[in-house]
Structure 1
Amino acid sequence: MKKTIAGIDMPDSAMARGATERIRATESALMFHHAQRAFLFGALTGYRENMVFDMELLYVGAMFHNVGLNSAHRRSSCRYEVDSANAARDFMREHRAAASAIDEVWMAIALHTTPGIPEHLAPLVALLAAGVQMDVRGARYDEYAVDERDEIVQACPREVGFKKRILEEYARGMEHRPQTTFGTVNADVLDRWDPNYRRLNFCGLVLGSEWPN
C-alpha cells in the first residue's frame, strides 16, 4: 500500500503495523478497506478543521471499530461497538500503550455509531465517527475534494455493491443480539434485514413498566 494517500501519511509504528496485520487476517476485504477509508476520511477532517489528534490512535481505532461484528463475537450479548472497543483495548495492552491512549480509543470506538455525541468530545472520538459516517453514508461528502475521494478509493477499493454488503455485515453481526440495538442506528439495520425483528419502543417501556403511576 502507498505510504501517503490523499496527503495523509499512513501510520507505520509497530502498533499500527500490528493492527493492519490483525484486521487483514480476521476481517473481510470489504471491512478492511472500509476501516482504512474511515481512517483517511477522519484524518482529512482533522487536518481541514485544524484539530490536534494522534494519527496512530486514530488508525488503531479505525482498524478495530467493526471487529465486534466478527463471528468470534456471535455469542456476545453486548453492543458490537463495545466488543470492538474491548478488542482494541486488549490489542493495545499487548503493545503496552498508555492507559490514557487506550481509554481514548475505547471511547471513540464505543461511540462511533451514536449520533450527536462524538463531535462534542475529544478529537479522536469526533474524527473516528466522522470518518466512518463519511464512508458509510456519505456524511459531509462534498467537503472532501474529488481528487481526495478518488485517491482514497483507488488505494482502498470500495467494492461493487458496498452499500448493501456492509448493511449485511452489520446485520449478521447483530442478528443474534437484537436487544442491543435499542435506541441506536443499529435498529434500522435489523428492521430492514430481519422480517421478524420488532423494535423496542421507549414510550412503551415507560408506560408499560411496573410502576403504578
Structure 2
Amino acid sequence: MKSAAILSLVAAVAAVPCTGSPKYPTTTIAGIEVVDTQLVRDALSLIKNSGLNDYVVKHQIRSWLFGAQQLNNNATLKSIVDPEAQAITILLHDLGWDQSPDSPWTTKENRFEVDSANAARNFVRGHKDGKKWSETKVQQMWDAISLQGAYSIAISKEPLVWGSINGIANDYRGPGIFGINETIYNQIVAEFPADDLLYGTNETFKWFCEYKPETTYDTWVEGWGTYFVPGYDPTGHRQVDQFRTVF
C-alpha cells in the first residue's frame, strides 16, 4: 500500500529534527498529547454542542487522537504536518453528516464530503485565529475532507491531506497500522467508545441515499442505496450509463 510505503520512508529518517511545523501549546486527552489552541478548543466545542449524533462526534475525536499520535510517533512526520491544521481537518471532517432539518452544514445538492469541507472552511475563515491561516493551508484542509472517500487519490496529495486521512482510516481499520498499537488504540476507545461506529456509519449512508440520492449516484456511497434503500435506483445517473446507450 502506498501509505505504508510513505510511512516507512518517514520512519527511516525519523531522526531529522522538527523544523517545518509551528510549535503549539499542548494538552493530553485519553493519554494522547494533542494541540491545545483556541481554534482547536472551539472546533471541539462546535462538534460537541452542534446536535450531531454522538457516534459522529466520537468518531471525529477518535480519528483526531489517532492522527495526533501518528505525528507523536514520528518526528519527521510531525515536522511536515501542521498539527493544528490536522486537528481542525479531522475534527470537522464529517460536519456534513448532520441530519437535523435545519442543519447549517448539510445541503440537498452537495455530496457530504463537499458539505463537510465547505463547513470546515467557513469555520476557519470565520474564526479570529483561523483568519491567520494561509490560503494554501485552508485549501489543503478542504482537499483532505473532500477526498476522504477517495483514499487512493488522497495519499498522493500533500502531507496535511494524507496525514489527516490516515487518522480517519485508523478509526475504521483498528490497531496495527500507521504506528498505532493495541495499547494506544484501546486507551482511546476506552474514553471514546467505538461500539456504535459501524452502525452509525451505515445509518448515515442510508440516510444520504434516501434524503439526497442525487449526490450518491456514481459514488462510493451508492452501494448503501442499492443494498439498503427500497426504490433506490442509480441507473441512468452513472457515467457508464451514458456509454451503455451508445455501445
- Shorter chain as denominator, the TM-score bin is 0.7 to 0.9
**Per the alignment, do residues 90 and 161 of structure 1 end up closer, same or farther by CA in structure 2, a change over 3 Å counting?**
closer
Q: Which has the higher contact order (CA 8 A, sep 6+)?
A: 1
**Per the alignment, do residues 184 and 115 of structure 1 end up closer, same or farther by CA in structure 2, a change over 3 Å counting?**
farther
In our comparison, the structure showing a higher alpha carbon Rg is 2
Does 2:84 correspond to 1:38? no
Does 2:239 correspond to 1:202? yes
RMSD: 2.3
| Map of 1:16 onto structure 2 | 40
| Map of 2:176 onto structure 1 | 142
- Letter paired with 1:22: L
Offset of residue 47 of structure 1? 4.7
- Kept in 2: contact 1:114–1:184 (CA 8 A): no
Q: Note the alpha carbon deviations across 1:140-198, whole angstroms, 9 max, x for none.
A: x422211011111122222x343122211233245222122233321122223312212
1:10 is paired with a residue of what secondary structure?
strand
Q: How does 1:161-172 map to 2 (within 5 A)?
A: 161-172=196-207
- Kept in 2: contact 1:5–1:151 (CA 8 A): no
- Kept in 2: contact 1:24–1:32 (CA 8 A): yes
Does 2:106 correspond to 1:81? no
- Kept in 1: contact 2:33–2:72 (CA 8 A): no
Q: Distance in 2 between matches of 1:61 and 1:181?
A: 23
Q: Percent identity?
A: 26
| Greater fraction of residues in helix | 1
Q: Distance in 2 between matches of 1:125 and 1:81?
A: 14
Offset of residue 6 of structure 1? 6.7
Select 1:130's aligned residue among 166, 178, 203. Answer: 166
For normalisation by structure 2, the TM-score amounts to: 0.74
Offset of residue 69 of structure 1? 1.9
For normalisation by structure 1, the TM-score amounts to: 0.85
Offset of residue 74 of structure 1? 4.9
Count of residues in Structure 1 that have an aligned counterpart in Structure 2: 206
